[in-house]
Structure formats: C-alpha cells, structure tokens
C-alpha cells in the first residue's frame, strides 16, 4: 500500500495531478480542497494517499491533509459510496463543513454535493454520525494542544474506518496518548495503538 508520495508536481488539473517521484510519474486523483492548496507545476508537494485496486485499474487518491484522507476512508465505508463519489463529497464541502453536516444530521446540506441525493445523504448521516461524534468528543477529553487533538481525532477516525468499534478505538487512542503524550504524528499513533 502506498501511504504517501513526495515529489514535484508535473501536471496539475482540477481533480487530477501527475506527481514526479524520482523520475516516475504517478497519476493521483484529488479533491478540489487539495487542488486549491497545491503549489505551481514544478513545485514540491507531499500527498497522503489511498491505493485503490480494481479489477481493471490501479488508482491513487491523494490528499494534502490526514483529515481529508481519514474522512475519505470513512465515506468509502458507507454502503453505495465509492472513491469517485467520496472525492466528489470532499470537493463539494470542506472537511470541517462535511463533518459538521453529518454530526448535525443536516441531510439538506449534504445533498447539495454533486452525485449525492437525499437518500444517500441520509445514509451518510446514519452510518457516520456516531463515528464522527466519537472523534469530536475525543478532542474534548484530551487536554493536549490543538495539533495533538487533530492527530488524535484523525487516528481515531482511521481506526474506526479500519473496522474497530468507536469505543474500542477511543480507548486505544487514549492509551497511546497517556503512555506517549509527546507523539503527535497520526501514523505513529495508529501504529502504537495497533501494537497493543
């Protein structure tokens, strides 16, 4: 699995880029939220990625932030939402706005996203509300800096996306936070949580 790519931007189009990593060009599909924060062609960039293998294709989806990647994983876990629709959702609303709409149960706001109707928006709320509520409540429990809270929330969301129950994932992340309060890297938090 390819977790991240770091290289120079060779091509840049909305929703699709080519990243030159050591002389190899990787086609990466991105949401508009990531596109808006990319440097000019030739600039250096790091993307957090999801490697998606289908019967007929091997696709990479990239994100500027861990929060985007975590929400993408949660969205693709919803019945009926594939990677393209998840990218569309992240392009239609910011991570913060989409999370808020889900937690508040704002079906109308979610259904404004291209490709998502009222029924799909309801399904997103039903399947993700408790997962996102758990992630948001974690930051209230943890008395760390804002940066650490974001890392803890993202780690919790990733564990839930991997199939752990929200309460189990919360306990795992809080244990890591208690034993290793200096760790603020999402990937490191997840590795430590899974090693227990």
Which of the two residues, 69 and 138, has the higher pLDDT score?
69
| Mean pLDDT of all residues in 156-166 | 83
Phi-psi region of 11 (alpha: psi -120 to 50; beta: other; left: phi over 0): beta
Percentage, residues of the chain above pLDDT 70: 91
> Per-residue confidence at 195, pLDDT binned at 50, 70, 90?
confident
- CATH code assigned at 139: 1.10.150.20
Length of the chain as a residue count: 196
Residues 58 and 114 in one domain: no
Residue range(s) defining the domain that contains residue 45: 4-63
Residues 59 and 72 in one domain: no
pLDDT of 142 higher than 60: no
pLDDT value for 100: 85
Please tell me the distance from the alpha carbon of residue 102 to that of residue 93, in angstroms, as a whole number.
11
Residues 142 and 159 in one domain: yes
Question: What tokens appear for 25 in the block?
Answer: 């060009």
Residue linked to tokens 């693709």? 76
| Mean pLDDT of all residues in 35-58 | 91
> Per-residue confidence at 150, pLDDT binned at 50, 70, 90?
confident
Long-range contacts of 175-182 (CB under 8 A, 24+ apart): 177/142, 177/144, 177/148, 177/152, 181/144, 181/148
Residues 70 and 59 in one domain: no
Identify the domain boundary among 39, 63, 87: 63
Residues 162 and 134 in one domain: yes
Residue linked to tokens 């609303």? 93
Residues 48 and 101 in one domain: no
Residues 47 and 109 in one domain: no
pLDDT of 18 higher than 60: yes
- CATH code assigned at 28: 2.40.50.140
- Please say whether the dihedral angle defined by the alpha carbons of residues 150, 151, 153 and 157, taken in this order, is positive or negative: positive
Q: In 3D, which of 191, 169, 186 has the Cα closest to residue 68?
A: 186
What dihedral do alpha carbons 78, 79, 80, 84 form, nearest 10°? 30
Question: What tokens appear for 80 in the block?
Answer: 């009926």
- Cβ atoms of 11 and 17 within 8 Å: the answer is yes
- What are the pLDDT digits (tens) for 94-141? 888 898 888 888 999 999 998 999 999 999 999 998 887 766 555 544
Please tell me the distance from the alpha carbon of residue 99 to that of residue 153, in angstroms, as a whole number.
12
Number of structural domains the chain divides into: 2
| Mean pLDDT of all residues in 183-191 | 88
16 beta partners: 13, 29
pLDDT value for 123: 94
pLDDT value for 136: 59
Secondary structure of residue 11 in the 3-state scheme: strand
pLDDT value for 135: 60
Alpha carbon of 14 to those of 66, 138, 140: distances in Å? 20, 34, 36
Alpha carbons within 13 angstroms on the beta-carbon side of residue 181 total: 5
Residues 97 and 152 in one domain: yes
């Amino acid at each position: 699995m390819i977790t991240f790519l770091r290289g120079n931007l060779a091509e840049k189009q909305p929703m699709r880029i080519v990243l030159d990593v050591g002389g190899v060009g990787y086609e990466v599909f991105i949401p508009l939220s990531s596109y808006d924060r990319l440097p000019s062609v030739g600039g250096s960039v790091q993307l957090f990625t999801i490697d998606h293998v289908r019967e007929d294709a091997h696709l990479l989806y990239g994100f500027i932030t861990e929060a985007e990647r975590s929400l993408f994983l949660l969205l693709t876990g919803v019945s009926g939402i594939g990677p393209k629709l998840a990218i569309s959702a992240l392009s239609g609303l910011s991570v913060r706005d989409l999370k808020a709409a889900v937690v508040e149960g704002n079906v109308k706001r979610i259904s404004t996203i291209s490709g998502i109707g009222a029924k799909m928006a309801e399904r997103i709320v039903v399947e993700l509300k408790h997962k996102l509520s758990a992630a948001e409540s974690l930051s209230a429990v943890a008395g760390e800096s804002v940066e650490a809270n974001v890392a803890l929330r993202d780690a919790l969301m990733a564990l839930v996306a991997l199939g752990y129950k929200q309460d189990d994932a919360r306990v795992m992340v809080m244990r890591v936070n208690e034993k290793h309060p200096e760790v603020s890297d999402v990937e490191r938090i997840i590795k430590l949580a899974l090693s227990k």
